[in-house]
Structure 1
Amino acid sequence: MAVTGCTTTNETPSTTTGGTITVAEVNEVTSFNPNTPQGNLDMNAKLTGYTRSGFFYLDDKLNIIPDKSFGTVEKTSDDPLTVKYTLAKTATWSDGTPVTADDMMLAWAVQSGFFNDSTTDADGNVTSGTTYFDYAGDTSGLGLADKPVVGDDNTSITLTYSEPYADWQLINPIDAPAHVVADHAGVALKDVMSAMQTMPRGDAAKPAAPNDALKTFADFWNTGFDATSLPTDKTLYLSSAGMVLDSWVPKQSITLVRNPDYKGDLKPKVDKIVVRFIGDAQAQVTALQNGEVDIINPQASADTIKSLEALKNVTTLTGNQFSYDHLDISFNTKVFKDANVRKAFLMTVPRQQILDAIVTPQNPDATLDDSQLFFPGTDAYDAAIKVNGSSAYDKVDIDGAKALLAGATPEVRVLYNTKNPNRVASFQALQASAAKAGFKVIDGGAENWGSLLGSGTYDASIFGWISSGVGVAGVPQIFSTKGGGNYSGYSNAQVDSLAKQLQVTLDKKAQDDIQTQIDTLLWGDGYGVPLFVAPGVMANSNNVTGVVYYPGQAGVGWNYWEWAKK
């Protein structure tokens, strides 16, 4: 996607090292583990961007950039697909413990779901067997691999896949420090690793008694890193990257400092990075203007950009994002069991009104987002919207909704983030429009909306997904019955089958065809509606260098090690 920049240039002193850079972000940290359903929020992932190294990162053009100071990735065979991950000697946790294959085995167990043998009901409750790691991502891709072979004195693992895997290059087998999880779970790490080496693949048709050591270990991973303030135990927020968390003032800010134990190549130039939590976009602009922050990443709007462009000594960067706001129906609540009620509700969503209010003032050429899977501006999107059935929801149809309701006046509780102005505006527009058809839309907005996703306490939700911009793993993650990001209780056997097929399809055109089929099924089932593709804006004081616009989920801090003060 194209990225455009608007720059104000001024004479400034030369770049120096050291000092403090302060960044404004919209949301607050809620967990040091962004890979659980409740921890799967943007700011949690952004924090790990500062504090977790990996085998690679994605640059601003979405190229895969290896970090050989952490480790190397080698494809040793195409048939069968075999990939070896070897840790560098410089890979170290901030308590001085080396990163080892134990850590990679934890990441593999989480991301593959290898040991899970659970069956769940329509509401997602386990009815038999065991779910060990409650992973927010998709397990079907890495689940194609056999159990890793550990080698090189516990510094490497080798994965062999049973089938080709489309996203194998995006597998980054590193997660939380395994020794910390074991210590806090009260189990011996050697017992956990022994269980991983000896236990067979889980089989939901023949569930086994849970392994106590692995279950206790996984239980801590699932919830033990959630936090509302800085833990007294520093091991809960260890770093393997250039910065380490130093302090946290709840509802205000976190402070990161240089990690003295970091031995890798991506060393930060500054001594300290302060991340302030400022939800309101105009408040971020004001903080930048007053010199309270150096970099901001607010929610984009025409007013925000206009305010930024009026500031002196500020660089404003705008562009597209791999992010979109959407309204999702909850299939596991009573009101939407009836397909006609789902479709009637979606007919009342004033999508054009919401687009015109939030996006069009900034981008006059903005159009409705008519695909659940593809972003506008791509050939695949243009082809999909011709056949996927989205046109049925392009315009509000109150009469059509009334006909489907046949006099009923359903109550619908909608969850959204009350601290996000765009989500508030979307909810208010929806509430007023749906009332015309007879719906009683109840305000279910909450500050802690993220922790409520998938809880069954609401009937529909308004929130945003932000993608890495590469790969297809996000499709089964969100839309498969057992997808870790399926907060809607949505289940369609055809979608499950197609999503599984997608994971082993290497041809791009064939991938697009499969995704178009899924897109069509989603619209036909009344899954929900995309509201708009979110535009992006970042800005920085001209006393800071190295800030580069980024369209993906890593956000403004994707290259923090290149930031410097002038």
Structure 2
Amino acid sequence: MTGRRRAALLATATVGALAMLSGCSPDSVVEGSSISVELAAPFTSLNDATGYGNTATNTAVAYATGADFTFYDNTASLVRDESFGRIEVVADEPFAMRYTVAEGVTWSDGVPVDAADLLLSWAASSGALNTPGLSDDDVVDDATGAYRDDAASDVVFFDGALNSGLQHVSQTPQIGSDGRSITLVYDQYFADWELAFSMGLPAHVVAESALTLESGADDSAADSKQRMIDAIVDRTADLAPISRMWSTGFTAEELRAHPDRLVTSGPYTLNEPQDGEPVRLTVNERYSGEHRPRYERIDIHTGGNPLESVQRLANGDVDVITPQPSGELQGVLNDTDGVRIAGGYDAVYEHLDLRFANSRNQAIENPLVRQALLTVLPRQQIVDELVATGADADATAPRDSFVLMPGSAGYQHAVDSNGSAGFADPDVKAATRLLAEAGVTAPEVCVLFDPANPRRVQEFQLIRDAAAPAGFVVSDCSDPNWLEMLGDPGAYDAALFAWRSTNSGVTGLSSRLHSTEGATNFSFYASAPVDGLLGELAISRDSAEQEDLLAAIDEQLWADGYGAPLYQYPQLVAHDESVDGIVPSPMPPGVFWNVWEWQPAGN
């Protein structure tokens, strides 16, 4: 498994609720208005469902230029956008859902969004059509997002979100008689059914770019869509070039070479990306949904040093920045005139994982040793010294759940019963007793982390110093290639890194906790009770029952000495006072979730 795919899979689960929001009127665009936003990373791909394209900046661009059936608001609640289309449960046994695009919805080139586009999205993220036995390592180049030179031309490999839930829809979806809908039939009930499917790339553009079609034909888009449908339904030879184009044809480099692929369905369109220049979004005049934007143009810049970002904001070079929070940065922003600050949680949390097998020094595999180490972890000190920013008072407390985000439904219920209170404060005497009971003297625990991340270096030092009085020898296993080393047998005893939530689902936990199915179970954790609870969670239809199951999983993880959640990342967005409507969400795409509500102050 490559680092890019590992990064894409590092996700936790929280529980979301449903809400409905109203959109804005179609005449709300302010003529001549523009806004500049600075994000941490450069834009590299319009297809953020691929391993290469799965970055925060790419997701923000794809979101602003794409329409979909659902999105997250600033409370991490899932919202349906019925101006784009409807989701309906049409059968309970077998469990089936119908997705229908609303009448009149088109791509930015005027071609209707329809069943061909929906069918392509299923093919790309179900894995049902991929050549068996292949992984992204075999096919896609990590550095460029292109197919490897040695990848066979007849390989079918969609580098999509293959663990999103559509892997449980093994049957080819049925196209509705209206031509705008498909029906997904699940192999078994899937608790996160509402999160499994999302829109993506235009089928006619993918097909036209991948296949040799008659040029100049009036019905070329229709022909392309039909070729796409035939390829998926009949498994024709067209699948190989289609999958290649879907996976690799929408990187920034490819878009510069082929600007005809810049076709989108959302409030904004993407201008041809220029190397070294800001990414420019402009209003999509053919967009007919409720999310009609106010700003006519958005320029997205790539940031760097947070303090330099604040200076650019103060100088008026950018209007919105999203720097990594720190106490120093908070103080500078507080003293900067004309700036507004929005804080809260990000859907990322820091944690320490302990290995249950295949460790470097073996001592950590003893459950008493794991409990002893957790007993001396200075979690509150880590938060106080490294995290607390003043942007959000709740960010001054450690996170106490492995499976739920602070503030989410069920979080306090889990914390009240999961046993985390026993690890609130370091207790050297208790740790010493546990080590004596284990019959272990001076156990060595080598910690893997990113040596280039100052905060991780400080976390390691605080843990090392706090554990030493109990007899632990905490050593440094840091490595610049730490991401590639996650899961490597014998490489380390514990790991410091972060999990990122990409949705509010409950089934994603299996990826890192299940003893046999966990693609990111880097700790080799194996628990029959947790496996059973995960199985129940996957088919649970009741939110209250899901909360109880999550709390039970949490309790077992603490009891087993799985590791320790350290803190939820604080989120910091600063913007010029000339901008209204900036209210960041903890879920991707973060500050961009309500991009259509951004507007000049007083508008």
Q: Above 0.5 in TM-score?
A: yes
In 2, Cα distance between equivalents of 1:242 and 1:561: 7
AA at the equivalent of 2:406: P
Could you report, residue by residue, the CA deviation over 1:345-402 in whole angstroms, capped at 9, with x for unpaired residues? 7677543332111334525663321211023356733443465465676538686689
1:312-368 C-alpha deviation (Å, 9 max, x unpaired): 332222233443223446889763877528938767754333211133452566332
Alpha carbons 1:316, 1:538 under 8 Å: kept: yes
State the SS of the aligned residue for 2:61: helix
Residue by residue, what CA displacement relative to the aligned partner does 1:385-423 show, whole Å, maximum 9, x if unpaired? 46546567653868668978756756554237x4x6645
Q: TM-score scaled to structure 1, two decimals?
A: 0.77
Q: Which residue of 2 aligns with 1:373?
A: 403
Match of 2:296 in 1: 271
Match of 1:537 in 2: 572
Per the alignment, residue 488 of structure 1 pairs with: 522
CA distance in 2, matches of 1:469, 1:195: 31
Aligned to 1:83: 97
After the TM superposition, which of the residue ranges 364-373 and 474-483 deviates more from structure 2? 474-483
1:26 aligned partner: 40
CA pair 247-549 structure 1, distance change in 2 beyond 3 A: same
Q: Which AA in structure 1 matches 2:99?
A: Y
Q: Secondary structure at the match of 2:541?
A: coil
Q: 1:159 to 1:120 in 2, by over 3 A?
A: closer
Equivalent residue runs for 1:36-435 within 5 Å: 36-77=50-91, 81-115=95-129, 132-136=157-161, 138-140=163-165, 143=168, 146-152=171-177, 154-161=179-186, 163-182=188-207, 193-194=229-230, 196-198=232-234, 213-214=238-239, 217-226=242-251, 231-235=256-260, 237-246=262-271, 248=273, 253-328=278-353, 335=360, 339-340=364-365, 343=370, 350-362=378-390, 366-377=396-407, 380-385=410-415, 388=418, 390=420, 394=424, 395=426, 412-415=447-450, 418=452, 422-423=455-456, 425-426=458-459, 429-430=462-463
Structure 2 partner of 1:4: none
Secondary structure of residue in 2 paired with 1:356: helix
**Superposed CA offset, 1:140-195 (max 9, x none):** 46615753210235321122345544333334431223344445555887566335
Distance 1:117 1:287 in 2: 49
Q: From the superposition, tell whether residues 55 and 509 of structure 1 become closer, same or farther in structure 2 (CA, over 3 Å).
A: closer
Specify which of 433, 436, 444 is matched with residue 479 of structure 2: 444
In 1, Cα distance between the equivalents of 2:513 and 2:245?
27
Q: Residue 104 of structure 1 contacts residue 174 of structure 1 at CA under 8 Å; is this kept in 2?
A: yes
Equivalent of residue 504 in structure 1, options 520, 529, 539: 539
After superposition, the Cα gap between the structure-2 partners of 1:252 and 1:286, relative to the gap in structure 1 and judged at 3 Å, is farther
Task: Give the partner amino acid of 2:342.
Answer: L
Match of 2:146 in 1: none
| Shift in alpha-carbon separation, 1:84–1:382, aligned structure 2, 3 A | closer
Question: For residues 55 and 481 of structure 1, do their structure 2 counterparts lie closer, same or farther at Cα, with a shift above 3 Å needed?
Answer: farther
Deviations 1:86-111 (A, max 9, x none): 22344333455433322211222344
Post-superposition offset of 1:67: 3.2
Paired residues, number: 534
Q: Which moved more, 1:502-511 or 1:435-444?
A: 435-444
Give the structure 1 partner of residue 144 of structure 2.
none
Please tell me the root mean square deviation across aligned C-alpha atoms, in Å: 4.4
- Judged with a 3 Å threshold, the aligned counterparts in structure 2 of structure 1 residues 479 and 340 are, in CA distance, closer, same or farther, namely closer
Note the residue ranges of structure 2 that are not aligned, 5 or more in a row: 1-14, 16-27, 140-154, 213-223
Aligned-partner residue type, residue 426 of structure 1: E
**Structure 2 equivalent of residue 10 of structure 1:** none
Shift of 1:22: 0.7
Specify the SS of the correspondent of 1:18. Answer: strand
CA contact (8 A) 1:72 1:85 kept: yes
C-alpha distance 377-563 of structure 1, shift in aligned 2 (>3 A): closer
Are the counterparts in 2 of residues 60 and 551 from structure 1 also a CA contact under 8 Å? yes
With over 3 angstroms needed to count, the CA separation of the structure-2 counterparts of 1:269 and 1:521, relative to structure 1, is same
Q: Which residue of 1 aligns with 2:506?
A: 472
Distance in 1 of aligned mates of 2:361 and 2:56: 29
* Identical-residue share of aligned pairs (%): 31
Deviation at 1:21, TM superposition (A): 0.4
Distance 1:346 1:231 in 2: 51
Once residues 229 and 338 of structure 1 are traced to their aligned partners in structure 2, the CA distance between those partners, rounded to angstroms, is 50
Q: Per-residue deviation at 1:456?
A: 5.2
Contact 1:287 1:293 in 2 (8 A): yes
Return closer, same or farther for 1:483/1:326 CA change in 2, 3 Å cut-off: farther
Looking at structure 1, the residues matched to 499 and 286 of structure 2 have their Cα atoms a distance apart, in angstroms, of 34
Question: Who is 2:586 aligned against?
Answer: 551
- 8 Å CA contact retained: 1:17, 1:564: no
**Partner amino acid for 1:143?**
H
1:547 shift after superposition: 1.9
Deviation at 1:505, TM superposition (A): 0.6
TM-score under structure 2 normalisation?
0.73
How far is 1:277 from its partner? 2.2
Q: Contact 2:83 / 2:102 at 8 angstroms: preserved in 1?
A: yes
C-alpha change, 1:15 and 1:273, in structure 2 (3 Å) is: closer
Structure 1 residue 498: deviation in Å?
Answer: 3.3
User: What amino acid is aligned across from residue 554 of structure 1 in structure 2?
Assistant: P
- What is the CA-CA distance between 1:232 and the residue it aligns to? 1.9
Q: Distance in 1 between matches of 2:229 and 2:173?
A: 12
Task: For 1:214 and 1:181, locate their aligned partners in 2 and report how far apart those are by CA, in whole Å.
Answer: 11
CA pair 390-251 structure 1, distance change in 2 beyond 3 A: farther
Code of the aligned partner of 1:55 = F
The residue aligned with 1:207 is: none
Q: Give the superposition deviation at 1:441.
A: 1.4
Q: Alignment partner of 1:548: what SS?
A: coil
The 3-state SS of whatever aligns with 2:564 is: strand
Q: Is the 8 A contact 1:91 1:263 kept in 2?
A: yes
Indicate if the aligned counterparts of 2:127 and 2:162 stay in contact, CA closer than 8 A. no
Q: CA deviation at 1:302?
A: 3.6
1:546/1:408 Cα in 2 relative to 1: closer, same or farther (>3 Å)? Answer: closer
Cα pair 1:317 1:537 within 8 Å, conserved: yes
What SS does the corresponding residue of 1:54 show, helix, strand or coil? coil
